[in-house]
């Protein structure tokens, strides 16, 4: 048993679970970007677990959702029913693990009648920094506090920046193409009952898009990508992109333009995506609107006009809100022949509006 327990250095497994007073299918991987304290509770009826929750309350100020957040995982429906636990924002949340799948995934439940309440401290990439028995809460808090204070100030995300992919004139043509048509509010893909469907939620994403239908304009972009971007991607990532999804010009406007942290390949309908490309078309003309990779710290990235930021579709990333002006970007996804087979096989999961 012990050998399979989750240890410092391990990546905390990802899961979906119901959050108390929150999403019925909360994606744990979207929590990346801050330190995390997990408490596998069993039940708060159990005295050591109740004492552990008091430790969290005593250090409540630590959990501000910016630097750190706390999740208790209960398997006991009575905890919520009797008000022994409650979501307190920012920072304090609970997963209702009534089927015990999360507890088993983390080896907190080691067999019938064998629940092992304990703490895990995770870093912003959701790697385990420390594991502590339930009665060692102050040590867990000290570990968390030490990690927050020691966090490197400038970690670097594994992204590639390639300048000079599209010439300024082509960038202007693309912006003009957008302006002539005007964008439509774009959604994002989500898995609902096993199907990949397009949903709209302005708190998560606000952006207006135009699909480039003009073959000559598309080919102009494709030719530049092939000559100037593909070799850089091959060198940096040993990956040969042969296919492109989306010929899309996006516009984020001040006060109404952002895309909150997400990954680009988490649904069946998007699982084929390998690398995401952000080609900025007017980098000097707006404030905000930068890329951030929360698993790798607060640093932001902005490709120069005509330049690209290329990153794995598995990375958590966000486009920060535009606060002045309008930001235009060309946003293809790259994949290859093997991934094309994945795409083909998953077509059946695309919902009506997917």
Ligand X SMILES: O=C(O)CCC(=O)C(=O)O
**Residues making contact with ligand X (CB under 6 A):** 259, 264, 278, 291, 317, 319, 329, 331
Instruction: Compute how many other C-beta atoms are within 10 angstroms of the C-beta atom of residue 40.
Output: 26
For ligand X, which is the closer residue by CB, 8 or 255? Answer: 255
CB of 227 closer than 8 Å to CB of 201: no
For Fe ion, which is the closer residue by CB, 85 or 315? Answer: 315
User: What are the tokens at 224?
Assistant: 């530049």
Instruction: Compute how many other C-beta atoms are within 10 angstroms of the C-beta atom of residue 327.
Output: 26
CB of 280 closer than 8 Å to CB of 327: yes
Residue 191 found at the interface with Fe ion (CB under 5 A): no
CB 132 to ligand X: min, Å? 36
Reduce the DSSP state of residue 335 to 3 states and report it.
strand
Q: Quick one: what does residue 278 bind among Fe ion, ligand X, none, with the CB cut-off 5 to 8 Å set by partner type? A: ligand X
Residue 119 CA to residue 202 CA, distance in Å, equals 35
For ligand X, which is the closer residue by CB, 49 or 278? Answer: 278
For ligand X, which is the closer residue by CB, 84 or 258? Answer: 258
CB 205 to ligand X: min, Å? 8
For the window 264-283, what string marks contact with Fe ion as x by the rule CB under 5 A? x-------------------
- Span of 39-47, 155-163, 177-185, 258-266 interacting with Fe ion by CB under 5 A: 258-266
For ligand X, which is the closer residue by CB, 80 or 291? Answer: 291
CB 163 to ligand X: min, Å? 16
DSSP run (H or E) holding 322: strand 322-330
CB 252 to ligand X: min, Å? 7
CB 319 to Fe ion: min, Å? 8
Written as one string, the DSSP assignment of 109-177 is: B-STT-B--EEEEE-TT-BEEEEEETT-HHHHHHHHHHHHHH--SS---S-EEE--SS-HHHHHHHHHH
Residues binding Fe ion (CB under 5 A)? 264
């Amino acid at each position: 048993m012990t050998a399979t327990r989750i240890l410092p250095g391990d990546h905390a497994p990802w899961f979906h679970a119901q959050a108390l007073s929150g999403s019925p299918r909360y994606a744990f991987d979207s929590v990346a970007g801050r330190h995390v304290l997990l408490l596998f509770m069993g039940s708060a009826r159990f005295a050591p677990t109740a004492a552990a929750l008091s430790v969290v309350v005593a250090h409540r100020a630590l959990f501000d959702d910016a630097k750190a957040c706390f999740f208790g995982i209960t398997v006991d429906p009575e905890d919520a029913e009797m008000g022994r636990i409650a979501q307190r924002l920012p920072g304090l949340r609970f997963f209702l693990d009534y089927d015990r799948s999360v507890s088993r995934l983390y080896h907190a439940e080691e067999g019938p009648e064998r629940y092992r309440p304990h703490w895990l401290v995770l870093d912003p990439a959701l790697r385990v920094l420390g594991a502590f028995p339930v009665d060692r809460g102050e040590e867990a808090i000290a570990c968390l506090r030490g990690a927050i204070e020691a966090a490197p100030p400038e970690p670097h995300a594994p992204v590639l920046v390639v300048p000079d992919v599209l010439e300024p004139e082509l960038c202007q043509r693309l912006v003009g193409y957008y302006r002539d048509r005007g964008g439509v509010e774009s959604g994002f893909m989500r898995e609902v009952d096993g199907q990949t469907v397009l949903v709209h939620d302005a708190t998560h994403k606000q952006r207006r898009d135009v699909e480039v239908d003009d073959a000559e304009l598309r080919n102009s972009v494709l030719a530049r990508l092939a000559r100037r971007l593909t070799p850089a991607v091959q060198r940096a990532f040993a990956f040969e992109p042969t296919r492109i999804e989306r010929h899309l010009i996006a516009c984020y406007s001040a006060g109404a333009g952002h895309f909150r942290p997400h990954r680009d390949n988490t649904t069946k309908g998007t699982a084929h995506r390998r690398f995401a490309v952000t080609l900025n078309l007017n980098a000097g003309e707006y404030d905000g609107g930068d890329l951030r990779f929360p698993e790798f710290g607060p640093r932001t990235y902005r490709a120069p006009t005509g330049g690209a930021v290329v990153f794995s579709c598995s990375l958590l990333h966000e486009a920060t809100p535009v606060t002045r002006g309008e930001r235009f970007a060309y946003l293809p996804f790259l994949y290859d022949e093997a991934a094309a087979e994945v795409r083909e096989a998953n077509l059946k999961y695309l919902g009506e509006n997917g």
